[in-house]
Structure 1
């Protein structure tokens, strides 16, 4: 019932339409069913076809949506490509099954209560033993993984944010990227932001306000100039930049 009440509460006050609309629920002896807005697809379904301009628009909307949740003391705790739906180019946050309603901004929960999709989980909740964590920075981290995957048109990322995972260990150590690293050709402006979002030290991790004040968030992206007789996109992951 917690998921229903959180979703219903947010939907009722969501003027930006960043949350999938909640119309009600139906209860039977064997199940409770939510009646929700029909949204045709997810970010996962469009991942391989989004352009630079579209990625920036999606990311801005995602951050605005997370800001809305946090301003109402709700942490989602499971933001991922499949839980972020898209309708006519607009992002809508779905699936509040792991969401937490906070009594105050710095309230802590056990890490085991906040684990969502492994690839999108922050390092502080990837350990085996339960520890106390603040949920809002978890959502920020997940936004960073979403952005990293969108700009690559690929689900490439570390399978879990643990130092035992080679790609993650190299990222956290800030070692020089090589051609085999999935973040090798990410544009500098975006990389600078990702370094602040995907920061293992929670006290240094970017906040939503800091993300919104970043050059990438504030300056509009532009698509490449089309040239006659030449392909506008190649098979390379970041040809659009």
Structure 2
């Protein structure tokens, strides 16, 4: 597909795995995604098909790499607050589009945010699921994983996405993950539970480049109680993202 704005990538493979309950649910969510109109902050899917017992999708080509690479190339390996908020707004808009259309991502991370013409696009839908379905089991990347996912509790995938969104903003601003894993067995997470977002930022001496308003936003996302986390609609209404 040289010269084409699309590329061919496998999403669920092989097809024999689709007899297992979870992959069938993932495939159903991907099919739902294929039926939706394009969104500027979600990688565009042109079509999906089966070939040699594997499921493939033809998706938009994003030649500028992922957002983590952009952060790591920046001065001090972190982004200025204004730039981070601009990119964060694009991610939230993409995730809002998915959530209102009944899709939860379950692997929101800077590695899964691709860039095309400087615009953020959510990608990698291999763990996608119906947004209204309660989930179980450990999925996603350890740094970004919500506490209820790390502890293998039943969880609302939309709320878990919001924790991952908060971690994504934290990494953009600090250049470092908040914790290795949001589990009671992780010392950093235990410290976070005591300090909160504001306390961590003060302890890490980051108050000079992360404003109080942004700390408040991250604190509202990084709630250990998933029922207390902001929704995408609430974030988009925040004056910081206007």
The question of a shared fold, defined as TM-score above 0.5 by the shorter chain, is answered with yes
Q: Does 1:96 align with 2:125?
A: yes
Aligned length: 210
Once the two structures are superposed, residues 9-54 of structure 1 have per-residue CA deviations (whole angstroms, 9 ceiling, x without a partner) of 3254334322211122454325443221110111011013244332
Unaligned runs of 5+ in 1: 219-241
Once the two structures are superposed, residues 150-209 of structure 1 have per-residue CA deviations (whole angstroms, 9 ceiling, x without a partner) of 112x13321101233222222222264476537555321110111110000112112222
Could you tell me whether the CA contact under 8 Å between 1:39 and 1:85 is conserved in 2? yes
Distance in 2 separating the partners of 1:182 and 1:126 = 28
Q: Residue 143 of structure 2 corresponds to which residue in structure 1?
A: 119
Which residue of 144, 153, 156 corresponds with 1:134?
156
Distance in 1 separating the partners of 2:206 and 2:183 = 17
Distance in 2 separating the partners of 1:189 and 1:132 = 32
Distance in 2 separating the partners of 1:6 and 1:24 = 14
Q: Residue 84 of structure 1 corresponds to which residue in structure 2?
A: 113
Q: Residue 186 of structure 2 corresponds to which residue in structure 1?
A: 165
* TM-score after normalising by structure 1: 0.77
The CA RMSD measured in Å over matched residues stands at 2.4
* TM-score after normalising by structure 2: 0.77
SS of corresponding position for 1:167: helix
Distance in 2 separating the partners of 1:183 and 1:95 = 31
Unaligned runs of 5+ in 2: 1-11, 13-23
